[in-house]
Amino acid sequence: MIIERIKMADSKKLFSIAIPTYNRSAFLDLCLSQILKQFPGNESYLELIVSDNASSDNTEEIVQKYISSGLPITYIKNKENTGADNNIAQAFLLATAKYVLVLADDDVLVDGSLKTILDILACGEYGVVHVQAYPYQTDFAKEFPRKQRRPETVVYDDLGDFIRRVNYFFTFISGNIVNKTLVDKDIAIKEFVGTNMVQLSWILSALFNSQRNVYIGQNLVAAKGDNSGGYQVCRVFGSNLNKVFDYFIKRGIQRKYFDIINRRLLFSFFPTMIRGLRKNKGKYHDEDYYATLRPLFGSYINFWIFTAPVIVLPLPVVRWWLRVIRNMSKISQLFGKLNDAVIQKKLH
């Protein structure tokens, strides 16, 4: 059952890591092992929560193992499965620290990331701190990107610039640390349940109430690749995501901020995802891509130039078209870096 009103942070802890989980004990084991490695020296700042959605595997045994190893985990096990969105929301609502990261059970904090995060959180008052993540398949340490160029931590005073930088990765649950004191008390989290985007209720609330936000360019989170599915991609990232946007527009947030995200979705996310789905749907459900996206995005030129061709053209032609898109993306990123050089303020 979702609590309708946000319980505000009331403890002296700086940072809560809240982990929703269900029947993925092996992933949770790895996730907690990385936190345990980095826990010594950070005890006074950190709160740990595991919200177990009535798992039938050995999840409880795994959690107890880490409690016995010294991790002060607050462990909640639901009597019955309440659904993924409800459990994710419960994990967030249980957190009492000023800053909260809802960390997916199959994602891990790489070595040294906890100290980096805590150092940044202690430096200022921020709404959202977005951390860079990378995908891995089998061994997150061996697959760590070695060619990353001069990762920077950038503080954004301009909301539009920060949204351009993070963009649709606001939807990546493990990548966004939220200042819970800036989340509106009247946000109706229950209205987001069933969208697969419940996390945006608190992420966007804190974002639009903040004066400063932070982008951490270091790869601090390793995200398990090819471990998602069970939904229709275009419905979730098209219809459902824009229902979330409409909720905030009705609360007075300017549509222009959500247009930034929609244009980027049409430019890069949907073309890449749809091509992959046309080749192999994997765990994702069938859907009519055009019928879902056309009513939502028909007024965007990016839909007709970048997304629609990937839906209707033969796959060999799509491959060529995506190469064109990628080249355009490189040009866009170049201009983005030039813009960042003008507006960024580095943390010291």
User: In terms of C-beta density within 10 A (0-12 exposed, 13-18 middle, 19 or more buried), how is residue 314 classed?
Assistant: exposed
pLDDT of residue 152: 85
SS3 category, 56:
coil
Q: How far apart are CA 6 and CA 186, in angstroms?
A: 7
Note the pLDDT tens digit of each residue in 210-260.
Answer: 999 999 999 999 999 888 888 999 999 999 999 999 999 999 999 999 999
Q: Low-confidence residues of the chain, pLDDT below 70?
A: 1-11, 148-150, 329-348
Per-residue pLDDT tens for 256-284? 999 999 999 999 999 999 999 999 988 89
Q: What is the DSSP letter of 216?
A: E
Q: Which CA distances in Å does 5 have to 20, 259, 330?
A: 19, 28, 43
Neighbours of 83 (CB within 10 A): 14
pLDDT at 329: 66
What token pair was written down for 320?
């060529």
Please identify which residue in the block is written with the tokens 């061709």: 309
Is the CB of residue 242 less than 8 Å from the CB of residue 296?
yes
Neighbours of 298 (CB within 10 A): 10
Pairing between β-strand 46-52 and β-strand 73-77 as defined by DSSP bridges: parallel
Residue 343 CB neighbour total at 10 angstroms: 13
DSSP code at position 155:
E
Angle, vertex CA 315, rays to CA 312 and CA 319, nearest 5: 110
- 87 within 8 A of 78, measured Cβ to Cβ: yes
Any idea which fold 15-224 has?
Spore Coat Polysaccharide Biosynthesis Protein SpsA; Chain A (3.90.550)
Counting DSSP H helices and E strands in the chain, the numbers are 14, 10
- Structure tokens belonging to residue 141: 């340490």
**What residues does 49 pair with on adjacent strands?**
18, 74
Inter-axis angle of helices 159-166 and 315-343, nearest 10: 150
Containing 316, the helix (H) or strand (E) segment is: helix 315-343
Which of 17, 14, 19, 36 lies closest to 121, judged by CA? Answer: 14
Residue spans in the chain of domains classed CATH 3.90.550.10? 15-224
Tokens of 188: 């109706």
Cα gap 198→241, rounded to integer Å = 10
3-state secondary structure of 132: strand
Residue 291 near residue 332, CB atoms below 8 Å = no
CB 45 within 8 A of CB 15: yes
DSSP state of 280: -
In this predicted structure, what is the pLDDT of residue 333? Answer: 53
